[in-house]
Amino acid sequence: MKRVLVLLAALVASIALAHAAETDWVAYKQPLIAFTHATIVDGTGAPPKYEQTLVIDKGRITELGPTASTQVPAGATVIDARGKTLLPGFVMMHEHLFYPTRLEPGAFYTAMPYSFPPLYLAGGETTIRTTGSMMPYADLNVRDDIKEGKRIGPDIDVTGPYLQGGTSYTEDMHVLTGPGDATRTVDYWAAEGATSFKAYDHITRAELEAVIDAAHARHVKVTGHLCSVTFREAADLGIDDLEHAFFVASDFVKDKQPDQCPKDGAVAKSIAALDLDSASADSLIKLLVDKHVALTSTLPVFATFIPGQHEQSESALALLDPRLREMYESTWKKIQATPKAKAKARQDWFAKATRLEKRFVDAGGLLLGGSDPTGYGGVIPGYSAKREIELLVQADDFTFPQAIRIVSLNAAKFEGRDKDIGSLAVGKRADIVVIDGDPAKDITAIKHMPLVFKNGIGYDTAAIFKSMQGQIGMN
Ligand SMILES: [Zn+2]
């Protein structure tokens, strides 16, 4: 009996400890905080402003202007931000709450409702869209717990379960049986609280049309990772957003059969071989811009498949369960050994698809950013938003302020929340990322992110990372 009691007490103590850890993540919770001498990249795409003062009062930005002429209110906690850059909290649009825990035969994804939300926050993400759920009730409950202040993490736009047609490569997914099933599925999950939907790569045009009609009737947006349906067809059906931008556009595959996803890398090959100055590329971009279809860039996941792209950092890999770390590292090594011709084809695919993202923006398109922690692993919450920003600058050739706009104000606009979040401006919520250094001058500075503020509360990112060592894959 005594032994049982001791065991129970130890159990309770360990639970209490886990709870205490969440409060240890808080570095600043004073209601009145002033950053002085800060560099500001405000999220609108405007160039950096130097020597600025930003005041937070009860979770809102109440002052923002030159340090020389902006009064610091009496009683404020002052943070000397010399040498630091403040960015708006990121609004990231492809942030699954699951991770691949088995590759083949038969891929499988496991929900990460405990580790991912704080890790996304520690990587600068103050609002996320889940963009396809494997365990929708877990996502909905996490969202509600964060909203009610019971747990720490970003605001969450919960996307319903994947709307897959035809066939699925994983046991995680329901496969739609036709347009009636599509309507029923959307109606059910919208009623349960999903606030967005995502169509998947084998859906038929008829099913996609039913999805869009049912979702729009409830004023809910639809995105898609498509293949069986082309971007042009989806735009004509009224889709709101397309995941992975041009990396997965099946529009350029010759002899594409309606409602069928072309086999064996045909889509990637067609992009790699695409003449960027051809009328077909231009006319697709024009159609997407004219129909106000947003695109979501998800460069981190594609980079893991491109020979020559660097491996994840030691600090990011330390977050993985050892078996998942081994799965990632052995696959990464195999990819580096890809035969030359095949490696070049993949590099061409990456190069063309990134050029098209830039052209889409230059033509007036709304580009959003996301991580997509899938593939064979190695896209790691806490590090993935930094990687997306780095690649938007290095691969897509955006300026740093443009890249920040893509992961903040653009997404806030798409989410209909740009009056409240998405840029650093007086009146907006104090969602602020603090960088050591000047990433507009040296993009690698983006990795140094000691603090992230959400709603005026400052979180110590190192403390979050420390408590999540080895947790990805477990919970
Ligand atoms: Zn995804």
Cα of 110 vs centre of ligand 1, distance in Å, is 13
What mean pLDDT, rounded, does the chain reach?
Answer: 95
The encoded tokens of residue 163 equal 């709307």
Cα of 94 vs centre of ligand 1, distance in Å, is 6
Going by C-alpha positions, the residue among 249, 243, 242, 251 that lies closest to residue 292 is 242
pLDDT at 129 over 80: yes
Give the count of beta carbons closer than 10 Å to the beta carbon of residue 297: 33
Cα of 245 vs centre of ligand 1, distance in Å, is 12
Cβ atoms of 430 and 423 closer than 8 Å? no
Cα of 248 vs centre of ligand 1, distance in Å, is 12
pLDDT band at 14 (very low <50, low <70, confident <90, very high): low
Interatomic CA distance for residues 153 and 160, integer angstroms: 19
Q: Which residues surround ligand 1, an ion (CB under 5 A)?
A: 372
pLDDT tens, residue by residue, 261-285: 998 799 999 999 999 999 999 999 9
pLDDT at 123: 98
Cα of 225 vs centre of ligand 1, distance in Å, is 7
Lowest-pLDDT range of 2-11, 25-34, 331-340: 2-11
Cα of 184 vs centre of ligand 1, distance in Å, is 23
Cα of 170 vs centre of ligand 1, distance in Å, is 13
Ranges of H-type helices in 337-399: 340-362, 384-394
Interatomic CA distance for residues 392 and 107, integer angstroms: 29
Cα of 373 vs centre of ligand 1, distance in Å, is 7
Q: Count each helix (H run) and each strand (E run) in the chain, helices first.
A: 16, 19
Cα of 399 vs centre of ligand 1, distance in Å, is 26
Interatomic CA distance for residues 14 and 309, integer angstroms: 41
pLDDT at 13 over 90: no
The encoded tokens of residue 241 equal 């957003």
pLDDT at 264: 79
The pTM of the full predicted model, rounded to 2 decimals, is 0.95
- Phi, psi of 440, rounded to the nearest 5 degrees: -70, -30
Interatomic CA distance for residues 157 and 428, integer angstroms: 19
Residue 265 backbone zone (phi > 0: left; psi -120 to 50: alpha; other: beta): left
β-bridge mates for residue 86, sequence order: 40, 434
Cα of 393 vs centre of ligand 1, distance in Å, is 22
Cα of 312 vs centre of ligand 1, distance in Å, is 19
Give the count of beta carbons closer than 10 Å to the beta carbon of residue 106: 10
pLDDT at 9: 62
Cα of 447 vs centre of ligand 1, distance in Å, is 23
Cα of 1 vs centre of ligand 1, distance in Å, is 50
pLDDT tens, residue by residue, 367-410: 999 999 999 999 999 999 999 999 999 999 999 999 999 999 99
The encoded tokens of residue 137 equal 């009730």
Cα of 222 vs centre of ligand 1, distance in Å, is 14
Going by C-alpha positions, the residue among 416, 238, 417, 391 that lies closest to residue 306 is 391
In eight-state DSSP terms, residue 288 is: H
Give the count of beta carbons closer than 10 Å to the beta carbon of residue 463: 17
Interatomic CA distance for residues 390 and 295, integer angstroms: 18
Interatomic CA distance for residues 103 and 113, integer angstroms: 20
The encoded tokens of residue 369 equal 């950013």
pLDDT tens, residue by residue, 47-101: 999 999 999 999 999 999 999 999 999 999 999 999 999 999 999 999 999 999 9
Cα of 205 vs centre of ligand 1, distance in Å, is 20
Cα of 381 vs centre of ligand 1, distance in Å, is 13
pLDDT at 360 over 80: yes
Cα of 297 vs centre of ligand 1, distance in Å, is 11
Cα of 54 vs centre of ligand 1, distance in Å, is 36
* Polymer length of the chain: 475
Cα of 53 vs centre of ligand 1, distance in Å, is 38
Going by C-alpha positions, the residue among 225, 145, 236, 158 that lies closest to residue 192 is 158
pLDDT at 310: 85
Sign for the CA dihedral angle at 311, 314, 316, 321 comes to: positive
Cβ atoms of 366 and 414 closer than 8 Å? yes
Cα of 374 vs centre of ligand 1, distance in Å, is 7
What b-and-e string marks burial along 258-290, b requiring 16 or more CB atoms within 10 Å of the CB? Answer: ebebbeeebbbbbbbebeeeeeebeebbeebbe
Cα of 336 vs centre of ligand 1, distance in Å, is 23
Cα of 66 vs centre of ligand 1, distance in Å, is 41
Cα of 370 vs centre of ligand 1, distance in Å, is 9
Cα of 331 vs centre of ligand 1, distance in Å, is 19
